[in-house]
Structure 1
Amino acid sequence: MFGLIGHLTSLDHAQSVARDLGYPEYADQGLEFWCMAPPQIVDEITVTSITGKTIQGKYVESCFLPEMLAQQRMKAATRKIINAMAHAQKHGIDITALGGFSSIIFENFNLEKMPQVRNVELDFSKFTTGNTHTAYVICRQVEQASAQLGIDLSQATVAVCGATGDIGSAVCRWLDSQLDVADLLLVARNSERLQSLQDELGRGKVLPLEEALPLADIVVWVASMPKGVEIQAETLKETCLMIDGGYPKNLGTKLQRPGVYVLNGGIVEHSLDIDWRIMSIVNMDVPSRQMFACFAEAMLLEFEGWHTNFSWGRNQITVEAMQKIGDVSQKHGFVPLLLGI
């Protein structure tokens, strides 16, 4: 059995979803209540591969909210993630994906040093960040959506914003070795990590965001938006593909200009309908089939019987691992979301 650990995008969103899912005791509560709320299994999932194999899963709502980070409630945020992991493990789930901020919090706060959750000793081999599949899907979106727009990658400049993160660095490795990209721009806040990535790749120009964006034919956004930073659509190229790999995805509402095409990055669509409710509450266009690629990674690991932390640690993703998960993604009927043009 596979599991998915997720969270909602805001307090307002959480209150609305709680009401829809039949949890009235959560629906009118403020942030203090959500800081104390325990994890809940709120959905049972059935997925069938195009090979004919069927698997079962559970969705674990962590009750984490981004406001917890914004208001410096770090203890509450970290407790939410490890409690959700313990909840999944107690319910006999073999492999669970950490979705959204879950994996970021786990890595940034080094929660691997906190394996004991009451009477549960966490077995980290039962969890995956899903970042390898996400990185693979974003790279395929670069390749396929650029073709939709007539952008020739051999002549194109690609800016990766958040290049030193787990997903961003993996995307850079793939763009460097698998796609004939003319120029690669590396954008991130940590100059030391940028230099290390540039040395590893043997290429790429390190530029600040405001200099990189006007030069890019394609922008892969896999970073959090720094406070006070606004992307001005008029500074982008006449034809620009923007792949929004963040969560929540909001670049599409901010960059509304003819010639700027915003694609929800790291989203896959399954070839067959999935029996679940959860994707409808995170506003997928086709909730019976579309999902975050990190969640799909847990499904793929369950389909293949690979009950291991396929994606784990920071900047450990290899091109070989991306190809491996990509091959089984295609095998079981998952395809990258593309532009609806």
Structure 2
Amino acid sequence: MFGLIGHLTSLEHAQSVANALGYPEYAHQGLDFWCAAPPQIVDYFHVTSVTGQVIEGKYVESCFLPEMLTNRRIKAAIRKILNAMALAQKNDINITALGGFSSIVFEEFNLRDNPQVRNVELEFDRFTTGNTHTAYIICRQVEQAAAKLGIDLARATVAVCGATGDIGSAVCRWLDQKTETAELLLIARNQERLTNLQAELGRGKIMELEEALPLADIIVWVASMPKGVEINPETLKKPCLIIDGGYPKNLSTKIQHPEVHILKGGIVEHTLDIDWKIMQIVSMDIPSRQMFACFAEAILLEFESWHTNFSWGRNQITIPKMEQIGTASLKHGLQPLLSW
């Protein structure tokens, strides 16, 4: 059995879907209440591979909310992730994916140093961040959507916003080694990590966001949107392809132009329907078929009986691992989302 640990996009979102998740008493509660709310298993479903194999899964709602990422509430955020992991392990789930901010909180605050959660000793090989599959899917979206728009990667400039993150650095390695991408623009906040990435790649220009975006034929966005930043579509190249790999995926509401094509990054479509409700709650366009690629990694690991932390630790994603999970993705009927 596989598990998915997720969270909702905001307090308002959480309140609006509390009934659908099965705890209506939470619907009118404020942030302090949600900080104390325990994780719950709210969905149980089956996934069928195109090979005919059938596996079982459970969705664990962590009750974590992005509003908890403040100095005042960060301990509540950490507790949420650890408690959700402990709940998954206690339910004998073989492999569980940490979705959305769950993996970011885990990595940024070194939660592997806190394996004891009350009476549960966390076995970290039961968990994966899903970042390897996410990075693979984003790279395939770049390749396939660029071809769809007539953008020649051999002549294209690709800007990666969030280039030093786990997913962003993997995307840069793939574009450097597996495609003929002409130019890479590296954008991130940490200058030391940027310099190290540039040295590793042996290429790439380190640039500020404002100067890089007008130069890019393709923008891969795998970072949080800085507060106060506005992107004027008139300053972007035409056509321009944007892969929105952030969470929540909201660039399409901020940038609107007929020649700027925004694709929801890190989303896959399954060939067969899945009997779950959670993807409807997070507003997938086709909830019975579409899912986050990080969640799909846990599904693939269960299909293949690879019960291990396939994605784990910052900047540990390699091209061979991306190819390995990519092969499994195709084998079981998953395809990158290509509609905008």
Give the Cα–Cα distance (whole angstroms) in 2 for the partners of residues 282 and 241 of structure 1.
Answer: 24
Give the Cα–Cα distance (whole angstroms) in 2 for the partners of residues 70 and 275 of structure 1.
Answer: 36
Aligned to 1:178: 178
For structure 2, list consecutive stretches of 5 or more residues without a partner in the other structure: none
Aligned to 1:92: 92
Cα deviation digits, residues 143-167 of structure 1 (max 9, x gap): 0000110101111000000000000
For residue 17 of structure 1, report the CA deviation from its aligned partner: 0.9
Aligned to 2:30: 30
> Residue 135 in 1 paired to residue 135 in 2?
yes
Change (3 A) 1:71 1:12: farther
For residue 71 of structure 1, report the CA deviation from its aligned partner: 6.5
Deviates more, 1:297-306 or 1:221-230: 221-230
Give the Cα–Cα distance (whole angstroms) in 1 for the partners of residues 113 and 121 of structure 2.
Answer: 11
Cα deviation digits, residues 197-227 of structure 1 (max 9, x gap): 0000001111000010000000000001112
Aligned to 2:152: 152
Give 3-state SS (helix, strand or coil) of 1:170's partner: helix
- The one-letter code of the counterpart of 2:63 is C
Aligned to 2:107: 107
Cα deviation digits, residues 106-125 of structure 1 (max 9, x gap): 00011111100000000000
Give the Cα–Cα distance (whole angstroms) in 2 for the partners of residues 276 and 226 of structure 1.
Answer: 33
For residue 91 of structure 1, report the CA deviation from its aligned partner: 0.3
Give the Cα–Cα distance (whole angstroms) in 1 for the partners of residues 13 and 302 of structure 2.
Answer: 30
Give the Cα–Cα distance (whole angstroms) in 2 for the partners of residues 286 and 197 of structure 1.
Answer: 37
> Residue 299 in 1 paired to residue 307 in 2?
no
Cα deviation digits, residues 272-330 of structure 1 (max 9, x gap): 00111100000000000000000000000000000000000000000000000000000
Aligned to 1:221: 221
Aligned to 1:277: 277
Give the Cα–Cα distance (whole angstroms) in 2 for the partners of residues 24 and 209 of structure 1.
Answer: 43
> Residue 11 in 1 paired to residue 11 in 2?
yes
Give 3-state SS (helix, strand or coil) of 2:228's partner: coil
Give 3-state SS (helix, strand or coil) of 2:42's partner: strand
Give the Cα–Cα distance (whole angstroms) in 1 for the partners of residues 277 and 70 of structure 2.
Answer: 29
> Residue 205 in 1 paired to residue 205 in 2?
yes
Aligned to 2:249: 249
Give the Cα–Cα distance (whole angstroms) in 1 for the partners of residues 22 and 293 of structure 2.
Answer: 27
TM-score, length of structure 2 as denominator length: 0.99
TM-score, length of structure 1 as denominator length: 0.99
Give the Cα–Cα distance (whole angstroms) in 2 for the partners of residues 71 and 301 of structure 1.
Answer: 35
8 Å CA contact retained: 2:22, 2:42 = no
Aligned to 2:338: 338
> Residue 20 in 1 paired to residue 20 in 2?
yes
8 Å CA contact retained: 2:48, 2:272 = yes
Give the Cα–Cα distance (whole angstroms) in 2 for the partners of residues 68 and 231 of structure 1.
Answer: 27
Give the Cα–Cα distance (whole angstroms) in 2 for the partners of residues 288 and 150 of structure 1.
Answer: 31
Aligned to 2:50: 50
Give the Cα–Cα distance (whole angstroms) in 2 for the partners of residues 266 and 134 of structure 1.
Answer: 5
For residue 235 of structure 1, report the CA deviation from its aligned partner: 1.1
For residue 24 of structure 1, report the CA deviation from its aligned partner: 1.4
Aligned to 2:188: 188
- The one-letter code of the counterpart of 1:81 is I
Cα deviation digits, residues 117-142 of structure 1 (max 9, x gap): 00000000000000000000000000
Deviates more, 1:312-321 or 1:16-25: 16-25
Give 3-state SS (helix, strand or coil) of 2:69's partner: helix
- The one-letter code of the counterpart of 1:253 is T
Tell me how many residue pairs correspond in the alignment: 340
- The one-letter code of the counterpart of 2:293 is A
Give 3-state SS (helix, strand or coil) of 1:88's partner: helix
Change (3 A) 1:328 1:182: same
For residue 228 of structure 1, report the CA deviation from its aligned partner: 1.6
Aligned to 2:239: 239
